[in-house]
Structure 1
C-alpha cells in the first residue's frame, strides 16, 4: 500500500509546475483528478517538445500526467461549477496555478473553498507571488530563471547570461508545493484543519541560490564570478569544475590543490599553498589543471585521481548514461499504456519505500475520459 492511498486531489493546473506536483502525489498513491476545459483540456497538452505528440497530446504531457484522471468542466458555467464544488467538498487537496485573481473571479478562491471544505489543503503555484510589481506577469520558467539572477551562475565567465538546460523553476516549485501539501496533510490529521499552501517559481529559484544569497546578506557584496573556463560553481574555489581530457571531459569536485598537484605529477601547484588563493586565483589554477589533463584520456585520470582520494568523474551525455550499467541497475525506466493502446517509455518515481521502487502502468488520460465515471461515483 502506498502512503497516500485514500487521498483525493483535484488538480486545476496547466503546463508543468502544478502538474509535476500532482505527478509526485499520484506516484505516492493519491488519486489525482485533473479538472480540464471541455474538448481542449489543459494547455500543457500542446507543449511542443521536439514535435513529439501521441494520441493528440504532447509526449511531455503524457510523462507528467500518468495515472491521473480527467474530468471536464466549464468553470464559467453555473451547473458545471456547482458540480465542481461538490467534488471539492469530497477532496483532501486542491491545486491550481492560475494567475492571482482568476480563482477569486470564479468563486474558487481559498476563502470561499474553506467554507465548503474546512479540512482541504488548498495549494497554489504563482509566478512571483500574489502581490508586488510582478504578480500579474506570466509564470513561466525562463522568465523566472532570468529575473532570479540564476542565469549568471551557469556558463563561463565571458558567456552571456545562460539559463539552465531544464525547466528548473517549474520542477523545483512543483517539488516545494508537494512538500507543503504533505506538511498540510500531516497537520490536518492532527488538528482537523486545512491549510493554504503557496509557492512561486521565483521563490523556488531564490531558495535554490541560498548559498550565494546568504553570503551577500552577510556582507559579501561582490558579484558571483564564473570561472574563465569549465565553470561549475561561481562561489567555490578551484579545482571545482569541468576539464577537457584527451578523449572527453571530466569533473573534479573536492580536492586540496597540494594533493591534486601531486596526483597530476606537476610542481606548478606548489605556489598555491595558501588556501585563499584557491579562490582568488581560481582561473589560473584551473588552467594549470587543464594543461595536465588534456594529455591523457579520462579513464586514465579517473583511475589515477581516485587512487589519491580525489573526488572526480567522467562527464556523460544522455546516451552514455542510459547505456551504462550504473543506470541500468537502477531499473529507472517504465512503460505506460495509453487509452489507444500505444506505449510510452518514461522514467519512474525516484522514491523507494521499504526498499520497493514505485512504478506506474497507466498513461495520461484523454480529455474528459473519466467525466461520466466521476459524475456517477460522486452523484454529480
Structure 2
C-alpha cells in the first residue's frame, strides 16, 4: 500500500509549483482533487512547451497533473462554494497559489477553513511571501530566477545573465511544499491539529542557493564571478568545469588539479603548484587544460580517468542518454493514458518503496470529470 493512501488533498493551485507538489503526493498514494473553474479549468491547461497538446490540454499540464481527479466549481457561486466547504470539512490537505488577499475575498482563507476543519493542513504557495513590496507582484519562474541572482551563476564570464533551462524555482518550491505538508501531517498525528504551511518561489530559490549565498555573506560580500570558459560553478576551483575534446566534451568535477595533470602526463606549471591559487587563477588553469583536452577524444580521456576513479563524465544529449543502458536499467519512463484513451510517454515518480518503482497509468483528468463521483462520495449535493 502506498504511504499516503487515505489522505485527501484539495488542490486549488495552478501552473507548476503547486500542481507539482500535488503530483508528488498523488504518486505516493494521496487522492488529489483539483478544484477548477468550470469549462476552462485551471490556466495551466493552456501553458504548452513547443505547442504540444494532448487532447484539449497541454502536454505540460498532463505531466504535472497525472493521477488526479477534477472537480469543477465556480467559487463565486454561493451554491458551489457551499459544496467546496463541505468537501473541505472532509479533506486532509488543501493547497493554493493565489496572490495574497484573494482567498480572503473568496472566503477560503486559513482562518475560515480551519474553523470548518481544524485538522486540515493548509498549504500556500506565493511568489514572494505575503508581506513586503513584492507581495502582490506576479510570481513566475523566470522573474524569480532573475530577481534572486540565480541567473548570474550559469554560463561564462562574458555571457548575459542566463536562466536555468527548467522551471527550477517552481519545481523546488513544489518540493518544499510537500516537505512542509508531510511534516505537518506527522505533527497532526501527535497533536490532532492542522497547520498552515507557507512557501514562496523566492524563498525556495534562495534556499537552493544556500552554498553560494553563504559564501557571499561570509567572504566580504564578493559577488560570484563565472569562469571565462567552461564555467560550471561560480565558486569552485579549477579544474571544475566542462572542456571540449577532439570529438565531444568532457566534464571534470571535484578532482585534485595535481592528480589530474599527473594522469594526463603533463607537467603542472610552477605557477599552479600552490593549491591556494587554484581559484584565483582558475581562468588561466582552465585555459591551459582546454588546450590539452582538445588534443584527444573524450573516450581517450575517460579511459585514463575512470580507472583512477576521477569524478569525470561524458556529456550527452537526450538522444544519447535515453538510449544508453545506464538510463534503460533505471526504467524511469512510463506510459499514461488520457481519459480519451490517448497514450503519452513520460517519467515516473523517482522514489522507490521497498525496492519497487511507483507507477501510475492515469493521465490528467478533463475539467470536472469527477464531479458526479465526488458529489456522491462526499455527500455534496
- TM value normalised by structure 2: 0.98
Deviations along 1:54-96, whole A, 9 cap, x unmatched?
1100001111111000000000100000000000000000000
Distance 2:194 2:303 in 1: 55
Superposed, which structure 2 residues align to 1:307-346 within 5 Å? Answer: 307-346=307-346
Superposed, which structure 2 residues align to 1:103-118 within 5 Å? Answer: 103-118=103-118
Q: Which residue of 2 aligns with 1:234?
A: 234
The reply on whether 1:201 has 2:217 as its aligned counterpart is no
Question: 2:275 aligns to what SS in structure 1?
Answer: coil
Deviations along 1:325-354, whole A, 9 cap, x unmatched?
000000011011111111010000000011
Q: Which residue of 2 aligns with 1:280?
A: 280
Q: Which residue of 2 aligns with 1:29?
A: 29
Q: Which residue of 1 aligns with 2:165?
A: 165
Q: Which residue of 2 aligns with 1:68?
A: 68
Question: 2:345 aligns to what SS in structure 1?
Answer: strand
Question: 1:159 aligns to what SS in structure 2?
Answer: coil
The reply on whether 1:154 has 2:135 as its aligned counterpart is no
Q: Which residue of 2 aligns with 1:135?
A: 135
The answer to whether the Cα contact below 8 Å between 1:261 and 1:270 also exists between their aligned partners in 2 is no
Distance 1:69 1:255 in 2: 49
Distance 2:370 2:310 in 1: 55
Question: 1:246 aligns to what SS in structure 2?
Answer: coil
Distance 1:319 1:211 in 2: 32
Question: 2:184 aligns to what SS in structure 1?
Answer: helix
1:288 Cα shift?
A: 1.1
Deviations along 1:144-171, whole A, 9 cap, x unmatched?
0000000000000000000010000000
Query: 366-375 vs 300-309, which deviates more?
Result: 300-309
- TM value normalised by structure 1: 0.99
Distance 2:25 2:355 in 1: 19
Aligned residues: 380
Deviations along 1:270-324, whole A, 9 cap, x unmatched?
4312111110000010111111110111111011112333210001111111101
Distance 1:148 1:342 in 2: 40
Q: Which residue of 1 aligns with 2:243?
A: 243
Question: 2:134 aligns to what SS in structure 1?
Answer: coil
The answer to whether the Cα contact below 8 Å between 2:216 and 2:224 also exists between their aligned partners in 1 is no
The answer to whether the Cα contact below 8 Å between 2:36 and 2:42 also exists between their aligned partners in 1 is yes
1:266 Cα shift?
A: 1.2
1:267 Cα shift?
A: 1.1
Question: 2:271 aligns to what SS in structure 1?
Answer: coil
- Gapped regions of structure 1 (runs ≥ 5): none
Q: Which residue of 1 aligns with 2:260?
A: 260
Distance 1:300 1:224 in 2: 33
Pairwise CA RMSD: 0.8
Change in CA separation of 1:309 and 1:220 when aligned onto 2, cut-off 3 Å: farther
The reply on whether 1:218 has 2:218 as its aligned counterpart is yes
Question: 1:327 aligns to what SS in structure 2?
Answer: helix
1:219 Cα shift?
A: 3.8
Q: Which residue of 2 aligns with 1:295?
A: 295
Deviations along 1:90-123, whole A, 9 cap, x unmatched?
0000000011110010010001111110010000
Distance 1:110 1:269 in 2: 64
